[in-house]
Amino acid sequence: MSDRPQADASLALDSPPSSAVVDDLGAYCATRSSWPAGWSVHYAPEVDSTQNAVRAAAAEGAPHGTVWTADFQRAGRGRRGRTWEAPPGTSLLLSVLLRDTRLAPFAQTAMCTLALCHVLESRGLAPRIKWPNDVLLADRKVAGVLTERVSGAGPAYQVVGIGLNVNYGARQDLLPHIATSLDWQAGRPIPRGPLLADLLGELAHLTSEPPSAWEARYYGEWLRRLWRRRQTVRLALGDETQEGLVEGVALDGALLLRLPTGELHRITVGEVLL
């Protein structure tokens, strides 16, 4: 998975790494007998993007908890207009339709990054959350979350996309230096099917929580995993770069950055640089 501008899209994506584990996600989805209550999973070997697949399903009246996953996306999307690239079979790529969530936009995205952390921690890894929507292992990006709100004639709904690098084998040249893969960190291949099942279970639970639960319990849990908290970082703000100390993140998702002058800034749009 590479979340980058269009101009940098230079990876060869026509075949998976030769050393990648044989991992039949389609067969797993076809034989899996149960998913979270009320949720359904649809698999395709290749799609334009899982985000688009879920939006099309939503337009046809698909219910809350409709999931699309694929081995390859021809035009995967990342945050801020970037592409989302992954060679076939290397990553867990999925999007989820959320109609019934009562969470505020940032809380919903935060719950999704927290769900990713729970699943990775259950496999002995130590993830951290990079504001606002990335998950890191060993200071390198392993996953990202993209939340899109869709409104129109009917009630608004959200489509949450998740990309997680899973099995890149020996081909470390297929990812930029700021990214990593689960198998590199775990020292072994990770089957994507059970990973998908565990992640959907966490997502179903956390995204169904009321807003009060975010503030009372999960906000603190999320903050404990915040990458570079109380450390100095560089922040990209459009064409400018700002340096400051990360004091934390507000309940509404604003990054609290202490400038060298001592002034505390609330940052709502930007990117902490790796």
CATH of the domain at 242: 2.30.30.100
**Same domain flag for 242 and 131:** no
The model's pLDDT over 247-263, given as tens digits with 9 standing for 90+, comes to 999 999 999 999 999 99
Q: What is the DSSP string of 104-130?
A: -HHHHHHHHHHHHHHHHHTTT---EEE
Residue 83 has pLDDT above 80, yes or no: no
The model's pLDDT over 39-72, given as tens digits with 9 standing for 90+, comes to 999 999 999 999 999 999 999 999 999 999 999 9
Residues 90 and 180: their CA atoms lie apart, in Å, by 12
- For residues 68-84, give the mean pLDDT: 76
**Same domain flag for 195 and 60:** yes
Q: Do 74 and 49 contact (CB within 8 A), yes or no?
A: yes
Residue 154's pLDDT is what? 84
**Same domain flag for 36 and 139:** yes
**Same domain flag for 159 and 118:** yes
- For strand 232-237 and strand 240-249, is the pairing parallel, antiparallel, or unpaired? antiparallel
**Same domain flag for 183 and 256:** no
Closest among 13, 12, 16 to 24, alpha carbons compared: 16
Residue 33's CATH number = 3.30.930.10
Which residues form the domain of 175? Answer: 2-224
Closest among 68, 63, 70, 66 to 40, alpha carbons compared: 66
**Same domain flag for 206 and 256:** no
**Same domain flag for 168 and 255:** no
Residues 62 and 166: their CA atoms lie apart, in Å, by 28
The model's pLDDT over 130-144, given as tens digits with 9 standing for 90+, comes to 999 999 999 999 999
Overall domain count for the chain: 2
The model's pLDDT over 154-180, given as tens digits with 9 standing for 90+, comes to 899 999 999 999 999 998 899 999 999
The model's pLDDT over 86-135, given as tens digits with 9 standing for 90+, comes to 899 999 999 999 998 889 999 999 999 999 999 999 999 999 999 999 99
| pTM value surpassing 0.95 | no
**Same domain flag for 201 and 244:** no
